[in-house]
């Protein structure tokens, strides 16, 4: 499922169907936008004219192929994805083609059934992480949390036995089911791939992991590692937070750099020394800087009585920046499940709202015709 804002229209059937297709990622969009916004596509017509438009009917696959002018293989691909989403069911009565229908007899009922199943599967699959979870969840000196989170992009798949043979592990297949390996995982499905090793590291790590540390420990290009971490964040399982545990290092770097570039007067007046530090601390730090004797230990000793938030303000005045790090979005598997479930439920509630609008709009369209 993909998080997106509610549609701005409430009676436009095509816009509502398009929103539902986008939220369930039923069509992979490529290239430039088309003039019809994909509304002439087979999935859009299949839902609007058949499954959503006439929910009381069961549709023969051969009849659908003829109506939509699709080859059986292409139609089967689209129907399989709809069945996997939980919106559509099918029967195998007698010999011949399968008959497909909208679960529950209405879009609202179909989404309600899908919601219950999604919540149950999510709880069961998240519980499987217990054996791999070694993170104790120690707090940082100051917890600032995420400033923003990307839109949710999450896969939810029932547990299945591992395929045989496979170069992957149960964890790599678990990650693939949730979308942590991307749309086409390829070699990333391997048990020792970079993506899997990074996720394993986060499962057992208390402090956030920065890009520099990840590249040093696991190898790989920092840009690639950054893209992997952002994909993790899109599932809401991983968060990016300021590394306040590295505050002393950032302050030391900023002081050394600004003393060399701008001198002691700038540090006193514009660098925040006079504003935030006592007279004795100012003079001691300036003396150590002038003699090139300032170390991380001596800096920590001199700032021990300074509030951490004032230290962060000092870093800001000095022009320094705290590094960012990535960590699991919870101190336990249960907390992680709640974090993902909260974001997931928001998307599902929006789907329920749009499903109700679709039922109303379809009913009004039938009455007018």
* Tokens linked to 1: 């499922």
* Tokens linked to 290: 């002038």
Higher pLDDT, 195 or 31: 195
In Å, what is the CA distance from 207 to each residue of 136, 141, 202, 228, 310? 10, 11, 9, 18, 22
Task: Compute the mean pLDDT over every residue in the chain, rounded to the nearest whole number.
Answer: 90
DSSP-based three-state secondary structure for 239: strand
Q: Which of 87, 56, 80, 53 is nearest to 67 (CA)?
A: 53
pLDDT tens profile 1-40: 999 999 988 789 999 999 999 999 998 765 555 555 667 7
Question: How far apart (Å, rounded) are the C-alpha atoms in residues 302 and 285?
Answer: 8
- This prediction has a pTM of 0.83
pLDDT tens profile 216-242: 999 989 999 999 999 999 999 999 988
pLDDT of res. 226: 95
Question: How far apart (Å, rounded) are the C-alpha atoms in residues 106 and 52?
Answer: 7
13-120+351-368: what fold?
A: Arc Repressor Mutant, subunit A (1.10.10)
CB atoms within 10 A of CB 50: 19
In this predicted structure, the answer to whether residue 166 has a pLDDT above a threshold of 70 is: yes
Whole-number percent of the chain with pLDDT over 90: 67
First to last CA, the chain: 34
* Tokens linked to 289: 């800087």
pLDDT of res. 369: 65
Strand partners, 240: 326
Residue ranges per domain, the chain?
13-120+351-368, 134-242+326-331, 246-317
Dihedral angle computed from the Cα positions of residues 322, 327, 329 and 333, in that order, rounded to the nearest 10 degrees: -150
* Tokens linked to 177: 């089911």
pLDDT of res. 136: 83
């Amino acid at each position: 499922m993909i998080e997106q804002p509610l549609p701005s229209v409430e009676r436009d059937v095509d816009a509502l169907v398009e929103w539902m297709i986008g939220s369930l990622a039923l069509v992979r969009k490529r290239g430039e936008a088309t003039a019809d916004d994909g509304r002439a596509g087979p999935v859009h017509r299949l839902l609007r004219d058949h499954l959503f438009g006439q929910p009381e009917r069961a549709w023969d696959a051969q009849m659908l192929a003829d109506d939509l002018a699709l080859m059986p293989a292409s139609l089967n691909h689209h129907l399989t994805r709809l069945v996997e989403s939980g919106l559509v069911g099918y029967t195998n009565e007698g010999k011949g083609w399968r008959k497909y229908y909208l679960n529950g007899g209405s879009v609202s009922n179909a989404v309600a059934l899908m919601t219950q199943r999604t919540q149950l599967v999510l709880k069961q699959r998240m519980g499987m992480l217990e054996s791999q979870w070694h993170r104790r969840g120690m707090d940082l000196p100051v917890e600032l949390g995420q400033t923003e989170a990307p839109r949710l992009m999450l896969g939810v798949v029932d547990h299945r036995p591992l395929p045989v043979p496979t170069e992957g592990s149960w964890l790599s297949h678990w990650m693939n089911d949730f979308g942590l390996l991307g749309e086409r995982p390829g070699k990333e499905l391997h048990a020792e791939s970079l993506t899997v090793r990074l996720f394993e590291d986060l499962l057992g790590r208390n402090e956030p992991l920065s890009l520099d540390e990840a590249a040093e420990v696991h190898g790989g290009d920092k840009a690639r590692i950054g893209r992997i971490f952002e994909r993790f964040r899109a599932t809401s399982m991983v968060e990016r937070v300021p590394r306040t545990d590295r505050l002393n290092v950032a302050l030391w770097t900023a002081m050394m750099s600004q003393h060399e570039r701008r001198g002691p007067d700038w540090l006193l007046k514009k660098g925040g020394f006079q504003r935030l530090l006592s007279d004795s601390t100012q003079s001691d730090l300036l003396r150590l800087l002038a003699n090139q004797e300032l170390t991380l230990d001596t800096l920590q000793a001199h700032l021990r009585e300074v509030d951490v938030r004032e230290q962060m303000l000092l870093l800001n005045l000095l022009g320094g920046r705290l590094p960012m790090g990535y960590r699991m979005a919870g101190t336990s598997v249960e907390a992680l499940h709640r974090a993902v479930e909260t974001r997931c439920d928001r998307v599902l509630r929006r789907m329920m709202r749009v499903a109700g609008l679709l039922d109303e709009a379809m009913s009004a369209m039938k009455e007018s015709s």
